[in-house]
Amino acid sequence: MKLTSKFRGSDVVEVQNFRPATTDDIGSVHAGPYISGLEKAMDQASEKGLIFIDGSGPTYATATTFQETLLAAGAGISLVDSVVAASRVSKDPPVAFALIRPPGHHAVPKGAMGFCVFGNIAIAARYAQRMHGLKRVFIIDFDVHHGNGTNDAFYEDPDIFFLSTHQV
């Protein structure tokens, strides 16, 4: 699928059949022991049906959570690929918005937090830098809660600007 300026305005393009993120993609933001530990915990989730993921704030998992979170992060990555490709062929590149579940902006680099397993937007931003050579990325997070996980992932990175608009 190609995103071009003809899709701007009120048209909505739904991207389907995107690839899941790889563990290397996830590892660009999250700690290796957290990723491997979560993957191993899926066996326990298969047996119990629902497990609590250690972290701060409630985050639960089922047997399919690991694969679902790879798909969620992969959706963001696919969106980055589409926007970058469109910007190479159009002087009026598209603006993109991804509505992804499970959410991700509370997931910190070392673990889950607040119903978030992996930081989808953080992973997509890092992917844009690593795979497409983008020098700077601007993330706008609007939610009633602060996107603390995304904030933590890039707090000391001058090349990623994170703006969180949230309820006080």
Q: Using 50, 70 and 90 to split pLDDT, how confident is the model at 1? A: very low
On whether the CB atoms of residues 72 and 99 are closer than 8 A, the answer is no
pLDDT on residue 148? 95
Q: pTM to 2 decimals?
A: 0.89
pLDDT higher at 128 or 92: 128
Structure-derived torsion over alpha carbons of residues 21, 43, 105, 94, reported in degrees to the nearest 10? 30
Catalytic residues: 106
**Residue 76's CATH number:** 3.40.800.20
pLDDT on residue 136? 96
Q: Model confidence over 36-50: pLDDT tens digits?
A: 999 999 999 999 999
Q: Model confidence over 84-105: pLDDT tens digits?
A: 988 888 877 777 788 888 889 9
**Host domain of residue 152:** 5-165
Number of domains observed in the structure of the chain: 1
Say whether 151 sits in a helix, a strand or coil: helix
